[in-house]
Amino acid sequence: MIGGGTAPSPRASAETWMDMADDFQRGALSDRLGIPILVGVDAIHGHNNVYNATMFPHNIGLGATGDPDLVKRIGAATALEVRATGIPYTFAPCIAVCRDPRWGRCFESYSEDHNTVQQMTEIIPGLQGDVPANYLTNFPYVNGRTKVAGCAKHFVGDGGTMNGIDEYNTVIDWDGLRNIHMPPYLDSIRKGVATIMISYSSWNGKKMHTNYDLITGYLKNKLKFKGFVISDSEGIDRITTPPRANYTYSVYASIHAGIDMVMVPYTYVEFIEELTSLVKRNIIPMSRIDDAVERILRIKFIMGLFENPMGDRTLLNQLGSQEHRELAQEAVRKSLVLLKNGKNDNEPLLPLPKKARKILVAGSHADDMGNQCGGWTIKWHGQSGNITAGTTILSAVKNTVDPRTEVVFSENPDKEFLKSGDFSFAIVVVGELPYSEFVGDSNTLTIAEPGYSTITNVCEAVKCVVVIISGRPVVIEPYLEKMDALVAAWLPGTEGQGVTDVLFGDYGFTGKLARTWFRTVDQLPMNVGDPHYDPLFPFGYGLMTSPREVIASQ
């Protein structure tokens, strides 16, 4: 396991990564049995730990595209970039159905609606390859050296925790669990997913890492899943409160429940000793170990890992390739959701003219690659700043407009500056700062300071379009009247050119909300179909525009 934010060295090349993976493999193959290891990495919006990799929009944006084929192509591109570093396994996709945007992992969820999430499991054949027509039903499948083993996560109910608290308790009856949170797993198994990761969260008070009935009884026996079941990182430590309070019990309960592979990044010697002791004392039967070993070996054989354990150096040039960046740019275009266009229906602001005298670009997220990519980018929780290669939205504006158009950037302009500027219009890019997991849990769902004052100052002085960079809907209603146009850009990744492609009308807006946009946080949780559904923008909402050349020809 190569965890979030881990790298062989800062800004390491694909070759350096592959050297590291091959070194791991040589160590494994030198053992008496010569069984290759399966190195896995969190490649959840592209190969996101790696400098210069293509970062695609996070899942919340991909859900808004409504385009399963696009997501499948992203899976295939991600597989190539992961293989370009010698790694054959990714801990993706997250197929959580996020029911509360206060959850810090909501951006890893495609939608609040399980039907949308089910469609987006098409990323699995992208990562792993299409299951052949005459293949065994519901059987794992990974097609060769340009594909990677995938991992559907986090089983099950991780997106339904109370108040959106990460790793907390999902309180729901069996019918609710089966009808809301389980359906994407059925699709994933049908599409040949190789592995399934267990959630840190609990279901009705029982830790998922100990849930025999759901892991063995339902997933393995009822659904006939034949891949292997993996713990989350240090997931077994957290079975007790405080963590590791009774480690022997935690090892027993998790292995008995049906977990086949355990992620133990630090205390692996202790884990091996505890597990060995439990087996020797017949507390864990050898049949349980045999089941786990058989499942893990099955995946390694299906992948061809015994025949080709080392990295394929012909793939080194796939990392951050132009083709993948163009695909990411397409994904950004299709993920943008236009929420408002003009202060009245007769005067739309978008698409913006490229031939303007003077444009203001403002906001903390306009020229910040880290903010644009969000969490799980180079570092586990992400980081503001110029952390990887790509195109910021400010750079994209400069690339797009007429060469004679003056583009002025001011992160948080004051009223005097705005009065004296004589701007044709302004693009304000603000949003959330990067986070992941529990760090992102929020009861307020506000954007980062001074975002709201930037919106107020600019939009009161100049015609403005506000572009929100966020991992979920955020508080925006009190400021909506001030704006001429509003775009939800989610966490678009490295290819900011996709934003300006649509703002300036080279392409039309097509994205639709795959999440309900609330008025106030007091309404949460609120999902489509709820009895007291009163959103600012409903599920499925999204204004459309035509490309500029279509408008010109009408």
* CB atoms inside a 10 Å sphere around CB 35: 16
φ/ψ of residue 196, rounded to 5: -135, 130
Distance CA 451, CA 108 (A): 23
| Alpha helix (H) residue ranges in 137-237 | 174-176, 183-190, 212
- Provide the token pair at 440: 């992102």
- Provide the token pair at 239: 């079975």
- Provide the token pair at 52: 């210069």
Angle between helices 247-257 and 286-303 (to 10 degrees): 60
Encode 316-354: b = buried (16+ Cβ within 10 Å), e = exposed. Answer: bebbbbeebbebbbbbbbbbbbbbbbeeeeeebbbbbeb
Distance CA 516, CA 347 (A): 26
- Provide the token pair at 89: 């396994």
Distance CA 285, CA 71 (A): 42
Distance CA 201, CA 160 (A): 9
Give catalytic status of residue 167 as yes or no.
Answer: no
Distance CA 59, CA 74 (A): 11
As a dihedral over the C-alpha atoms of residue 491, residue 495, residue 497, residue 502, rounded to 10 degrees, the angle is: -40
Give catalytic status of residue 232 as yes or no.
Answer: yes
DSSP letter assigned to residue 206: E
Sheet holding 337-341, edge to edge: 337-341, 485-490, 464-469, 425-431, 358-362, 406-410
φ/ψ of residue 321, rounded to 5: -65, 155
Residue among 100, 158, 166, 232 flagged as catalytic: 232
User: Active-site residue numbers?
Assistant: 232, 437
